[in-house]
Structure 1
Amino acid sequence: MPQVTKIKAQKNKKRVNLYLDGKFSFGLDADNFLKARLKIGQKLNQKQIDDLIFKNEFQKSLDRAFRLISRRPRSEKEIRNYFKKKRSSSKVAEKVIAKLKELKQIDDREFARWWVDQRTIFRPRGKYGLTMELRQKGIDKTVIKETVESVSELHLAEKLAQKKLKTYKNLSKNEFYRKMSAFLARRGFSWEVIRTVIDKYLENW
């Protein structure tokens, strides 16, 4: 069985490098190192080695996930996609996601509310636009419906249209209708809402 021949602290004091039979084998976080009670001369079977490597990968992946979430909230699908790009093992990814859920660091219902609130404040979207964005984030259809239902499309569309008036003020009535409707449609507003907003301005155009 491989034997622990050297234990060396990394520059990151929270991690150590483990050498087996005189060669570097893998790194390990300090907590798992202490729990394993590793020492020079100790022999490890393959199961013990695999277990230590898994724990190391889990902790590294969990730390990465925390850093990702610290920038902004993430949906479960976003976390899964992140680990796919990093080519993390599915076993490690599943355990990390389960831990994040346990710690309430990912919650798709809360994420959906946050996303809609942010869009409402900074980049307003209609219900259709919000629905498409949340689907891309992997949010369940029922959660999307519950979250988007409270959005006041007419208010948001009027707010956006008001901002565009200066840009479109010298257009003909037909050109104004075409450009404003296209602009609001790109933002995911329904045609019913778009017509209501545009008709309001066309009355005095």
Structure 2
Amino acid sequence: MKKIARITTQKKSKNRYNIFLDDGHGESYGFSVDEALLIEYRLRKGLELDNSMVDTLIQKDTVHKVYTQAIHFLSYRMRTKKEIRDYLVKKEVEPEQVEQIMGRLEKENLVDDRQFAEMFVRTRMNTSSKGPSLIKKELMEKGVAAAIAAEAVEGYPYEVQYEKIRKLIDKKLSQKKKDSFRKQVQNLQASLMQKGFTQDVVKEAFADIQEEKDEDAEWEALVYQGEKLMRKHQMKHEGYALMNKVKEGLFRKGFPMDQIQKFLESRE
């Protein structure tokens, strides 16, 4: 048996204490504990401790220190269970201790994947141009179960998706580009799908898009692309063959045939 010879407060951490033990041959440093354990086990000068109790106190203090670190990790933002586990593994915490810490965090409602997912969706919906499918993928990458992720993205209303897409459409199509209106629309549709918006809402948002077509900008883009194609092919072709190459190229780029014909006639 060993007796607690004295207890001192650590200089750099006022809520941690150094425990000095006397085994009958003089005192020496034994271990340190957090204030919570000092109170829980009523550690005081003269208290006798056997080796088993010393080991228990050291183990509990280790768990408590890592638990405190996990709380600090959570203080920056909410985390998923997987993120906390990965953090603890990175800290080289023993598997048994990981389970103890995770159990305590869940019991105290400090880790909740469902709550995390709901908040994550709201944040992404309000601060990004991402659609629900991409947000769901992000949640699953963070370790949230597919069913919970799917339920969470239901909080991303159809009408909010529609309004967000319309704003993106108006912004992108108002920028003058050298592509045909059709090509711009196709590229934008593909981009929106990649951002995670569903095909139904994208299709509806583009339903009346033809009304926003800028005919002057379309003609300028056609002339630009047409002249570029003529320079490209005139070294090998001339006459009908050249015009046919330009016509094919412009059609593949999405320009309407009547406008293509108008351009070709102006160059004959």
Within the alignment, does 1:103 sit opposite 2:104 as a pair? Answer: no
The runs of 5 or more residues in structure 2 that have no matched partner are: 214-268
CA distance in 1, matches of 2:57, 2:171: 58
> How does 1:28-67 map onto structure 2 within 5 Å?
28-39=33-44, 44-67=49-72
Moved more, 29-38 or 153-162: 153-162
For normalisation by structure 2, the TM-score amounts to 0.66
> How does 1:106-185 map onto structure 2 within 5 Å?
106-151=111-156, 152=158, 153-166=161-174, 168-170=175-177, 171-185=179-193
Evaluate the alpha carbon distance shift between residue 34 and residue 202 of structure 1 in structure 2; reply closer, same or farther with a 3 A threshold.
same
Q: Which amino acid aligns with 1:194?
A: V
Q: CA deviation at 1:15?
A: 0.3
Match of 1:86 among 62, 82, 91: 91
Per the alignment, residue 18 of structure 1 pairs with 19
How many residues are matched? 204
Q: Is the 8 A contact 2:121 2:155 kept in 1?
A: no
Evaluate the alpha carbon distance shift between residue 163 and residue 110 of structure 1 in structure 2; reply closer, same or farther with a 3 A threshold.
farther
Q: Is the 8 A contact 1:180 1:198 kept in 2?
A: no
Q: CA deviation at 1:34?
A: 2.9
Per the alignment, residue 9 of structure 1 pairs with 9
The runs of 5 or more residues in structure 1 that have no matched partner are: none
Q: Is the 8 A contact 1:125 1:156 kept in 2?
A: no
Moved more, 154-163 or 82-91: 154-163
Identical residues among aligned pairs (%): 30
Q: CA deviation at 1:43?
A: 5.2
Helix, strand or coil for the counterpart of 2:110? coil
Moved more, 152-161 or 60-69: 152-161
Moved more, 93-102 or 38-47: 38-47
Moved more, 192-201 or 123-132: 192-201
CA distance in 2, matches of 1:31, 1:59: 9
Within the alignment, does 1:196 sit opposite 2:204 as a pair? Answer: yes
Per-residue CA distance 1:57-107 (angstroms, 9 max, x = gap)? 222122222222221111111111111111112222222222222221121
Radius of gyration: which is bigger?
2
Q: CA deviation at 1:20?
A: 5.0
Helix, strand or coil for the counterpart of 2:212? coil
Q: Is the 8 A contact 2:173 2:184 kept in 1?
A: no
